[in-house]
Each structure stands twice: as C-alpha cells, then as structure tokens.
Amino acid sequence: MKSLIATASGLLLVTFAQSALADAIDGDWCREGKHFRIEGPSITTEGGNSIAGNYDRHGFSYIVPDSEPGAGGQVNMLLMGEELLTLTRPSAPGAPETWKRCEVVS
C-alpha cells in the first residue's frame, strides 16, 4: 500500500512540474515560416539577434534591434495558453499576431 501511495504521489508531482514548465513563455515560437526563441530574459529574434528583454513568466517585451524592421520600437508578447501567444509591434498597428509553439521535428 505504501508503494502505491508513493508511486501515485510521484506521478502527481511529475504532472504538476511539467504543467508548471509548460505555463511559461519560454521556448520556440513559430508563425508563417518565422521563428523566435525566448529563454528567460533573453530572446533570439526573428532576425537572428540575441538580445535581452523584459521577461515575465507570461509575457515578454523588447526593443527591436537597429538591423531589423521596426527598429527602436517595442514588441510586446502575452502568453494566451500553453501553445499560443499574441504579439504586437509598433510597425504593424491593428490586431495582434498569434504565434504557436513550434512543432518538434526529430
């Protein structure tokens, strides 16, 4: 019986830990052949620049580098669930863009 309880407790712990990790903006994001990656306060932008930004578990913002379209403007992102985020940029007023987590290809 103790073994069963320990196993069940372990499974619950793993499940909650995985869901906590998935509920963060960190990771690879894709849209229409474009890609960026967030790792804590760092981002590799669509243009391939690695820069620091303003990180929050469910949001991220950064100033567009000089070498990319919209340079000097602020891009804002908000996590909308485990698999979606919205992105707004000053160079494209209107409805925010919807990005999805990139599919893993092995």
- In tens, the pLDDT along 24-61 reads 999 999 999 999 999 999 999 999 999 999 999 999 99
Output the furthest CA–CA distance in the chain (Å, rounded). 63
Q: Which two tokens stand for residue 36?
A: 């960026």
Q: Which two tokens stand for residue 81?
A: 């669930």
pLDDT bracket for residue 16 (50, 70, 90):
very low
Indicate the pTM of the whole model: 0.75
Whole-number Cα distances in Å, 106 to 73, 95, 103: 36, 34, 10
Nearest to 46 by CA among 38, 35, 55, 56: 35
Hey, is 93 helix, strand or coil?
Answer: coil
Which pLDDT score, from 0 to 100, does residue 1 have?
52
Mean pLDDT of 79-98: 91
Write down the residue that tokens 């320990």 correspond to. Answer: 6
